[in-house]
Structure 1
Amino acid sequence: MISFIVSIIVLVVGYMVYGKVIEKIFGPDEGAVTPAKRLSDGVDYIEMDWKKTFLIQFLNIAGTGPIFGAVAGAMWGPAAFIWIVFGCIFAGAVHDYLIGMMSLRKDGASVAELVGENLGNGAKQLMRVFSVVLLILVGVVFVTSPAAILHNLIGSVPTLAFVGLIIVYYIIATVLPIDKVIGKIYPLFGICLLVMAVGIGVGIVVQGYDIPEIAFHNFHPQGTSIFPYLCISIACGAISGFHATQSPMMARCIANEKEGRKVFYGAMISEGIVALIWAAAAMSFFGGTDGLGVALSNGGAAVVVNKISSTVLGKVGGILAILGVVACPITSGDTAFRSARLTIADAIGYKQGPILNRFVVAIPLFIIGIALCFIDFNVLWRYFSWSNQTLATIALWAASKYLANKGKNYKVAMIPAMFMTVVVTSYIIIAPEGFVRFFEGTPTATIETIGNVVGIIVSAICTLAFLRSVNKKNALDPELSVEVE
């Protein structure tokens, strides 16, 4: 219990202290005219109050991520608390704030354009493809999962019918001005998601559930290694590349640069608190990780969320559970397709003011998305998890270069970039969807050691290449001095 409460306090303090450090390093200009005002088009560039942009950003980046991911990560016990707290404060929130503010300074540019500006044209082209593929995967995942749950709730309606209804909604939300659908309903759903989390958090504490304390012990029933699996399982709530695709949408709606810390850094910290609550609930409600493992094997995260919500919060919890496992995924899926539209439009310089232009970009995306709906959900999710964290890693390297180019303390982004490079490299080597098949017959411990060593080597190479590029720029521009604050 103490570890859980202290973890929440540390997250809040992290926002107030480290969030200000990151804000000072970036240096927002309160007097600057933001894209929402300068490029207002009534479609994607629309000025909004910071409280509304915060709630939209929170729901965009959250969805079921800090719920389902935290429930899966709870299998490792309170080690999940450590990853959520340190990952969120020093990696995820830094990632979200820097990408959001970089986009704001670049007229709301998508993450691919930001990567290209800082890491070169080759990286830009790779990121364009990578981010669009990731966004389509997110959209598809959040079509199939809520459709399946709705079918289970209303058995008389086939899953395919729900898929069709969700896709129709996605098309509407993707092409209409952001204030018509997203701007009206997202703040309400964002509040509901926060209320749901607070209710669960208070409930498990008041009702006396035994939340385990942080210990030097792997609580996973199968003994699965904490690193790198935990860092992949809990993405939203710690660090997630999907956020880099979402932040540019709100960068086009923020009225003042000083609001960036509240909207970007604050939304990530809020998501971390939600993840902490659900991790604590999952590892305590079923009497430990063994019980949680059984519950997950008998229905998955959605069943676990429904069971916890309806028991801890009663009938109200049951209603909120439906919101959590149906409405929230849908709100992530529609913004995924919207972000994909904006990314492609940015890449080809295709103006999105005329509604016909929006359909021209959106329809091919939905054709691909519909085709992917018939692929096994579990396969899609495995590849999404790795590609999501890889995108975050690339975005952090781009943010590091941006800060270095501005003569600012780039280490705040470089250090988490180095860590995440180890994570994604080691994971793809040892994971079933990666290169583990090349090590057939090799003991698991040996494969994991190889993966970690290769991950460290790749991270070291990336770091040396980055530092070389920084030093080269400094040599060409002697007046540029990098601040170390």
Structure 2
Amino acid sequence: MNSLIVALVAYVGFLIAYRLYGTFISERIFGLDASRKTPAHEFNDGVDYVPTKPEILFGHHFTTIAGAGPIVGPAIAVIWGWVPALLWIFFGSIFMGAIHDFGSLVISARHQGKSVSRITSDLLGPRAGTLFLILTAFALLIVIAVFCLVIAVLFDMFPQSVLPIWVEVPVAIAIGYWIYRGSGNPTIAGIIAIIILYIFVIIGVYVPLKMPGFIAGNPIMTWTVILLIYAYIASTLPVWVLLQPRDYINSHQLFVALALLFLGLIVAHPPIVAPAVNTNIADAPAFIPFLFITIACGAISGFHSMAASGTTVKQLDKETDAKFVGYGAMLMEGALAVMVVMAATAGFGSAAAWTEHYASWKAANGLGAKVGAFINGGATFVSSIGIPEAVAAGILAVMVVSFAATTLDSATRIQRYIISELASSYNINILSGRHGATLLAVLTAFILASFNGGKGGLILWPLFGASNQLMAGLALLVISVWLIKIKKPSIYTLLPMIFVLVMTSWAMVINTINFYRASNWLLFVLSLLIILLEIWLILEAIGAFRRVKTAPAVESGGTTASK
């Protein structure tokens, strides 16, 4: 199969879905209203609540939800064949992920910018809300600890990415001040920033920087400490100083990288050398249900609901921007995941090379194998248009690390919100403020990460895939309850909810049995607790469904909406 034709069909499909299904959902189901006052205006504080132009907010939201997720997931899932991976990315993005992200953003905007977990408390009851908060905090702890490791390992694997990544920080700050304090043009600012970035990408190729092991003789641990200090600073600064402009630059990176990759596909149009379906894999888990938790970002991911109702909603200028930012950014992530599938299948050049790389689940599951499949395969595409392969690899490596860094500090900021919410509920004043909550977020992540030479987060990583998808299903459940409450059709969120919860629960039960058989008591107990938590929340939701079914309709904005 020709990779260019496959990618082109997928991209046209995404455009049609945005125009038709996205418009239907936003206008007919959620009834977006440009005159409705958003939390960004209602609570504008210049730090977290900042009304933002949609093109800048799109960049922030996209790079926050993307991270390395739509790269590492598809890059390993193609081991089951490129067709199942592509179908899940395409239909999952359109009918599940985009609605999940969009719905989380809108429901949060209609509830004064509260997180989905806080809205859970309003709709399902205080017990359910607290349980959801705890589950969210647990997942974010893993994300922060593991993404420190991911970035540290990528810096070690691709030292050419170190210089441009850190140069991007002062450039982003300068852009932020120029736009918000000097009335600079965002488009011109983005062009200037991306030119500077790629100048340093080229310099970085010829001046790679390797980190010595200053801490415990381990460069990975050294990078982990530096990254957590950075995450603390980035997540406590006003959002317009670093978070927004850096993410805006990163979104430009994506457009440039996708354009280069697509041009490479046009020029080289290599055939897909991987099998369409492949179920005979050494030591691999069952194709169903594990495909649906292996590819999360790129199809549907619970972390996106945290981002949408955590940082993004606080910057939403107009409610009608939610379609472009929430629904559109998820489809863009799907487009990136499609390109990853092409790079990890057609980028190998021969069936023998692909088979060697994906010889077994263990061989394909390492971080280096997953990221390397995309960067090396993608560099093959880009080099076909005349860009040196080393420079092409540098461009893609910087993009991957930039996205991972965005997820790191956005997750830290969201964890700060979660800790503040819990601390306020229990009157722990020292942790309810910006700095106290952030300090606890980075310290707990450091404690987890410091085990096993900076790789401690991997101890709990086997729980993250299923926990993340569980949160996606529960977020869809909360959105469905709200739609029923305002007497709107809920079938468009209920069906995705049922599918995600069934597949995730299936995978969690299998994993729990495997943890028990392996005598891995830590993961067995935690996995069992998560399953019980899921059952508890579903029972709470059933009670809420019964209550709202018989309750009179309320205004779609809820009691907190204002015009």
After TM superposition, the score normalised by the length of structure 1 is 0.87
Query: How far apart, CA to CA, are the structure 2 residues paired with 1:211 and 1:225?
Result: 24
Partner of 2:448: 372
Give, in angstroms, the shift of residue 374 of structure 1.
2.6
Among candidates 136, 142, 146, match of residue 141 of structure 1: 146
Give, in angstroms, the shift of residue 246 of structure 1.
0.4
Partner of 2:345: 283
Give, in angstroms, the shift of residue 371 of structure 1.
0.8
Cα distance, 1:420–1:462 mapped onto 2, change above 3 Å: farther
* Partner SS for 2:345: helix
Cα distance, 1:404–1:293 mapped onto 2, change above 3 Å: same
Among candidates 73, 96, 115, match of residue 101 of structure 2: 96
1:139/1:369 contact within 8 Å kept = yes
Deviates more, 1:279-288 or 1:269-278: 279-288
Does 2:75 correspond to 1:14?
Answer: no
Query: How far apart, CA to CA, are the structure 2 residues paired with 1:183 and 1:138?
Result: 20
Cα distance, 1:105–1:438 mapped onto 2, change above 3 Å: same
- Name the aligned partner's letter for residue 403 of structure 1: L
Residues 70-149 of structure 1 mapped to structure 2, 5 A cutoff: 70-77=74-81, 78-149=83-154
Cα distance, 1:411–1:213 mapped onto 2, change above 3 Å: farther
Give, in angstroms, the shift of residue 359 of structure 1.
0.8
Provide, for residues 448-480 of structure 1, a one-character-per-residue CA deviation record: whole Å limited to 9, x for no partner: xxxxxxx9xx99999898567435433343x68
1:98/1:399 contact within 8 Å kept = yes
1:67/1:278 contact within 8 Å kept = yes
Instruction: List gaps (5 residues or longer) in structure 1.
Output: 441-454
Provide, for residues 351-391 of structure 1, a one-character-per-residue CA deviation record: whole Å limited to 9, x for no partner: 9xx99921111111111110111344543332221111111
Instruction: List gaps (5 residues or longer) in structure 2.
Output: 160-208, 214-218, 383-388, 519-530, 557-563
Query: How far apart, CA to CA, are the structure 2 residues paired with 1:121 and 1:44?
Result: 25
Partner of 2:364: 296
Does 2:527 correspond to 1:426?
Answer: no
Among candidates 32, 36, 51, match of residue 36 of structure 2: 32
Does 2:270 correspond to 1:209?
Answer: yes
Query: How far apart, CA to CA, are the structure 2 residues paired with 1:241 and 1:437?
Result: 23
Give, in angstroms, the shift of residue 414 of structure 1.
0.6
Does 2:336 correspond to 1:274?
Answer: yes
Does 2:233 correspond to 1:172?
Answer: yes
Query: How far apart, CA to CA, are the structure 2 residues paired with 1:356 and 1:80?
Result: 42
Partner of 2:392: 317
Give, in angstroms, the shift of residue 155 of structure 1.
4.2
1:211/1:284 contact within 8 Å kept = yes
Cα distance, 1:199–1:221 mapped onto 2, change above 3 Å: farther
2:49/2:315 contact within 8 Å kept = yes
Cα distance, 1:374–1:124 mapped onto 2, change above 3 Å: same
Query: How far apart, CA to CA, are the structure 1 residues paired with 2:297 and 2:241?
Result: 27
1:140/1:369 contact within 8 Å kept = yes
Query: How far apart, CA to CA, are the structure 1 residues paired with 2:87 and 2:328?
Result: 19
Provide, for residues 224-270 of structure 1, a one-character-per-residue CA deviation record: whole Å limited to 9, x for no partner: 53211111111001000000110121111111101100000000000
Deviates more, 1:224-233 or 1:333-342: 224-233
* Partner SS for 1:227: helix
1:197/1:274 contact within 8 Å kept = yes
Query: How far apart, CA to CA, are the structure 2 residues paired with 1:111 and 1:55?
Result: 22
Cα distance, 1:49–1:438 mapped onto 2, change above 3 Å: same
Percent of pairs identical after alignment?
27
Query: How far apart, CA to CA, are the structure 2 residues paired with 1:74 and 1:144?
Result: 24
Provide, for residues 37-59 of structure 1, a one-character-per-residue CA deviation record: whole Å limited to 9, x for no partner: 12101110011100000010000
Cα distance, 1:110–1:297 mapped onto 2, change above 3 Å: closer
- Name the aligned partner's letter for residue 264 of structure 1: G
* Partner SS for 1:402: helix
Query: How far apart, CA to CA, are the structure 2 residues paired with 1:15 and 1:349?
Result: 39
Partner of 2:480: 400
Partner of 1:382: 462
* Partner SS for 1:84: helix
Does 2:256 correspond to 1:256?
Answer: no
Query: How far apart, CA to CA, are the structure 2 residues paired with 1:167 and 1:467?
Result: 40
Among candidates 417, 429, 445, match of residue 342 of structure 1: 417
CA RMSD in angstroms comes to 3.0
After TM superposition, the score normalised by the length of structure 2 is 0.76
